[in-house]
């Protein structure tokens, strides 16, 4: 049985932890609002980009000579996986969920005897993957220094991917990130960006809109556009990720604060009980001492 002093110390310690988690929750809530706003502001760009590419790829008739970024190299031996995670921990299952999703994909690739290459963006992902997949990680990028998500950073990642593609270092490229659904739910996503998978389902074929005028020709525009699209997709993933990270941290810290509160309540009851027990014990001792006189 812990002494009264021990209990008192524990209560204060839990209380100060609670203060920290509470503060972290507030900070995350404030950041979440901004991250969410940014994610929304960034949406028109990637949507328009998608539209343009869709219109362009519709008008490409010569599939064989189409840019390889769009149709792929024709093989799928080497898979490049970009795992986007946070740079900081204490955000619940956020990083773990992405890693889990990525790992199951890795296992599939390895069991199919294909070559796997991994690029991690964000230091937490690297930390978690380096134990098991160290030999596959070709690059490890972190944007700890940049305060806000910016396109410039995404473009850097995009350029690395393009460079590797041009050197024929991979055939298929997929990115892993958390999609922000709401504060409580974030869905780990796997998205293939090279070759580009068209979402045919959500587009009704609104006739043949092949009446665009292209200047210069379609191929040239596409080959200019596709690298940009990769950066855009990564940027989108980063925005979603940052909103998810803050949301996830907020929920995690909220839970932690509540748990700490419960713990304090329980400890306080225990403290009071043992204090009362001590008093009762002393009283009994005094009374029985007086009786024996």
Partner 1 sequence: MSNLFNIDIVNPEQSFLSKDNVFEVVIPAVEGEIGILKDHIPIISFLKPGIIRVFSESEEKSFYVEDGIVEFKDNTLSVLTSSIFDLKDADKNFVSESISSAEAELSKDNIDDQKRFLLNHKVEVLKSISIN
Tell me which of 151, 156, 198, 274 binds partner 1, using CB under 8 A: 151
CA angle 114, 120, 125 (to 5 degrees): 110
- Single out the segment in contact with partner 1 by CB under 8 A; choices: 28-36, 50-58, 130-138, 178-186: 50-58
Classify 194 as helix, strand or coil.
strand
N residues, the chain: 293
Interatomic CA distance for residues 192 and 125, integer angstroms: 19
Least spacing, CB of residue 8 vs partner 1, in Å? 52
- Going 173 to 174 to 175 to 176, the CA torsion angle's sign is negative
Site string for partner 1, 210-249 (x = CB under 8 A): -xxxxxx----x--xx--x--xx--x--------------
- Interaction residues for partner 1, span 56-85 (CB under 8 A): 56
Interatomic CA distance for residues 187 and 168, integer angstroms: 31
Which of 37/285 has CB closer to partner 1? 37
For residue 246, the number of C-alpha atoms closer than 13 Å in the C-beta half-sphere is 21
Residues in contact with partner 1, total (CB under 8 A)? 30
- Interaction residues for partner 1, span 89-148 (CB under 8 A): none
Least spacing, CB of residue 242 vs partner 1, in Å? 13
Q: Is 91 a catalytic residue?
A: yes
Least spacing, CB of residue 29 vs partner 1, in Å? 22
Collect all residues with Cβ–Cβ distance below 8 Å to 15 and sequence separation of at least 6. 260, 264
Tell me which of 9, 33, 48, 181 binds partner 1, using CB under 8 A: 48
Least spacing, CB of residue 241 vs partner 1, in Å? 15
Least spacing, CB of residue 161 vs partner 1, in Å? 16
**Of 7, 39, 69, 91, catalytic:** 91
Strands 137-141 and 78-84: unpaired
Residue 162 engages partner 1 in binding (rule: CB under 8 A)? no
- Single out the segment in contact with partner 1 by CB under 8 A; choices: 17-25, 107-115, 123-131, 207-215: 207-215
- Single out the segment in contact with partner 1 by CB under 8 A; choices: 6-14, 20-28, 66-74, 204-212: 204-212
* Whole-number Cα distances in Å, 86 to 82, 89, 247, 272: 13, 7, 12, 43
Classify 257 as helix, strand or coil.
helix
* Whole-number Cα distances in Å, 290 to 137, 278, 282, 293: 79, 18, 12, 6
State both tokens at 236.
């989108």
Active site residues: 91
Q: Which residues bind partner 1 (CB under 8 A)?
A: 38, 41-42, 44-46, 48-49, 51-52, 55-56, 150-151, 154-155, 209, 211-216, 221, 224-225, 228, 231-232, 235
């Amino acid at each position: 049985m812990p002494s009264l002093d021990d209990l008192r110390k524990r209560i204060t310690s839990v209380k100060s932890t609670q203060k920290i988690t509470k503060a972290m929750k507030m900070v995350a809530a404030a950041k979440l609002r901004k991250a969410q706003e940014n994610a929304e502001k960034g949406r028109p760009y990637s949507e328009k980009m998608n539209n343009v590419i869709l219109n362009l790829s519709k008008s490409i008739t010569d599939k064989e000579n189409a840019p390889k970024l769009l149709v792929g190299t024709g093989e799928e031996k080497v898979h490049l996986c970009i795992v986007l995670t946070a740079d900081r921990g204490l955000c619940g299952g956020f990083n773990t969920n992405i890693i889990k999703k990525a790992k199951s994909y890795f296992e599939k690739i390895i069991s199919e005897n294909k070559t796997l290459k991994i690029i991690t963006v964000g230091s937490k992902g690297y930390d978690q993957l380096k134990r098991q997949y160290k030999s596959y990680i070709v690059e490890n990028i972190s944007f700890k220094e940049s305060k806000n998500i910016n396109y410039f950073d995404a473009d850097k990642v995009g350029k690395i991917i393009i460079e590797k593609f041009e050197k024929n270092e991979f055939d298929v490229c997929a990115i892993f990130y958390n999609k922000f659904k709401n504060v409580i739910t974030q869905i780990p996503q796997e998205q293939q960006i090279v070759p580009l998978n068209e979402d045919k389902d959500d587009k009704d074929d609104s006739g043949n809109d092949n009446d665009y005028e292209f200047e210069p020709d379609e191929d040239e525009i596409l080959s200019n556009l596709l690298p940009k699209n990769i950066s855009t997709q990564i940027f989108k993933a980063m925005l979603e990720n940052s909103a998810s990270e803050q949301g996830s941290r907020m929920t995690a810290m909220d839970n932690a604060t509540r748990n700490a509160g419960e713990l304090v309540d329980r400890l306080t009851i225990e403290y009071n009980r043992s204090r009362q027990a001590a008093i009762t014990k002393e009283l009994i001792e005094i009374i029985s001492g007086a009786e024996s006189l």
